Structure 1
Amino acid sequence: MKNKDPLPQPDYKESKETSYCLSRRFSNLTFDETVANTRQALHDIGFEIISEMKMHEYFKQRLSKDINRYTLIGVCKAELAYELLQTENKLGVLLPCNIVIQDVKDGQLIEVSLIDAAVSWGLSKNTIVSQKAKEVKEKFKSILDKVEQSNTSI
Structure 2
Amino acid sequence: MSYALSTTLHTTFEDAVARTRKALADQGFGVLTEIDMKATLKAKLDQDMEDYLILGACNPPLAHRAITADRQIGLLLPCNVAVRADTTAGGDTVIVDAMDPQVMVQLSDQPGVREVADEAAARLRAALDSLESTDSQ
TM-score, normalised with respect to structure 1 = 0.82
Q: Comparing 125-134 with 92-101, which one deviates more in the overlay? A: 125-134
For residues 150 and 83 of structure 1, the distance between their equivalents in structure 2, rounded to whole angstroms, comes to 31
Matching residue of 1:90: 72
Match of 1:70 in 2: 52
Q: Within 5 Å, which residues of 2 pair with 1:3-152?
A: 19-27=2-10, 29-105=11-87, 106-152=90-136
> Where in structure 2 are there 5+ consecutive unaligned residues?
none
| Contact 2:104/2:113 (<8 A) preserved | no
CA distance in 2, matches of 1:41, 1:122: 26
RMSD (Å) for aligned C-alpha atoms? 1.4
User: Cα gap change, 1:81/1:72 in structure 2, threshold over 3 Å: closer, same or farther?
Assistant: same
**When the two structures are aligned, how many residues end up with a matched partner?**
134
Q: 1: distance between equivalents of 2:73 and 2:108?
A: 8
**Unpaired stretches in structure 1, ≥5 consecutive residues:** 1-17
Contact 2:73 2:104 in 1 (8 A): no
Are 2:69 and 2:111, in contact at CA under 8 Å, matched by a contact in 1? no
Alpha-carbon distance in structure 1 between the residues aligned to 2:58 and 2:106: 18
Equivalents in 2 of 1:145, 1:40: separation in Å?
Answer: 13
TM-score (norm 2): 0.91
CA contact (8 A) 1:118 1:134 kept: yes
Which stretch has the larger CA shift, 123-132 or 53-62?
Answer: 123-132
How far residue 107 of structure 1 moved from its aligned partner, in angstroms, is 4.4
String of CA shifts for 1:62-95, please: whole Å, max 9, x gaps: 0111100000000111122122212111111111
